[in-house]
Amino acid sequence: MVRFHPTNQTLVGFADGIIAPNESILVSAHCDLCEQCRSKVLTMTEITAELIFEQDKGSKTANIIDNELANMFDAIVSRPSVIPQASVCTTGKSLFIDGKSFKIPPSLQRFSESVGDWSHLVGKLWQAPVSIGGKNLANFIYMERGGSVPEHTHIGNERTLVLNGSFSDGVNEYDTGDYIALNESHTHTPIAALDEGCLVFSIIDEPLHFTSGWARLINPLSHLYFKVSTKN
């Protein structure tokens, strides 16, 4: 079940197209997996479009529109939340890791040709860089069962979307579809569940700052075992 969502402010920014492109990628992919946020964004987009139309007609002043937008927005976010099941992507490209196939959410499929080779890091951890343009660093990260990312903090923002499986980080437990926004004030140690591996997509502003011992061990043969499918 999806428990962690972008803030309402982020969703409004996404609907208005004013949040940073990298954040927009993750919010969009989260909406692929979360019906609740998808429906909020749709409503926000419709309201904004309608109000802009009213403004263009000159029938309402900017002040009235701002007030109406605020009221409508309050009404949307105060609705009792329906907690839908994470929807499963039924079409699109897959990522093959650890003998398993994972569907990539539609919003991330355009990057499937930009996924680099998988590298084996310490602690049952695999990473494949993804070129998304700009200076941000994006990666698919796969934690094998019980695998963990060494304790680290962040320089700038780290945004993570859980694509499949679950992990805990000593603060919360995250499941498929969860959207996690962290910054330099957070230190955590993600650990995958013991019964299944966990695939996440993560975008960071700056490389992680590891606060416990960290050695990166590249397996030069990893690309022979891990690949991205380009088939639908």
User: Where on the chain is the footprint of Zn ion (CB under 5 A)?
Assistant: 5, 34, 37
Report the residue number, 38 or 100, with the smaller CB distance to Zn ion. 38
**Torsional class of 62: left (φ above 0), alpha (ψ -120 to 50), beta (otherwise):** alpha
- Least distance to Zn ion, CB of residue 78, Å: 16
Provide the residue count of the chain: 232
Pairwise CA distance, residues 75 & 172, whole Å: 29
- Non-local (6+) Cβ contacts of 184 within 8 A are 153, 154, 155, 156
Q: Is 114 within 8 Å of 98 (Cβ atoms)?
A: no
Pairwise CA distance, residues 130 & 114, whole Å: 6
Report the residue number, 34 or 180, with the smaller CB distance to Zn ion. 34
- Least distance to Zn ion, CB of residue 118, Å: 28
Q: Please report, in angstroms and rounded to a whole number, the separation of the first and last CA atoms in the chain.
A: 26
Report the residue number, 4 or 226, with the smaller CB distance to Zn ion. 4
Q: Which two tokens stand for residue 93?
A: 């490209």
- Least distance to Zn ion, CB of residue 68, Å: 25
- Least distance to Zn ion, CB of residue 174, Å: 12
Report the residue number, 40 or 124, with the smaller CB distance to Zn ion. 40
- Least distance to Zn ion, CB of residue 175, Å: 12
Report the residue number, 34 or 115, with the smaller CB distance to Zn ion. 34
- Least distance to Zn ion, CB of residue 180, Å: 12
Report the residue number, 7 or 101, with the smaller CB distance to Zn ion. 7
Of 140, 144, 83, the residue nearest 115 (C-alpha): 140
Residues 57, 59, 65, 67: what is their CA dihedral angle, to the nearest 10 degrees?
Answer: -170
Residues in a beta bridge with 126 = 120, 142
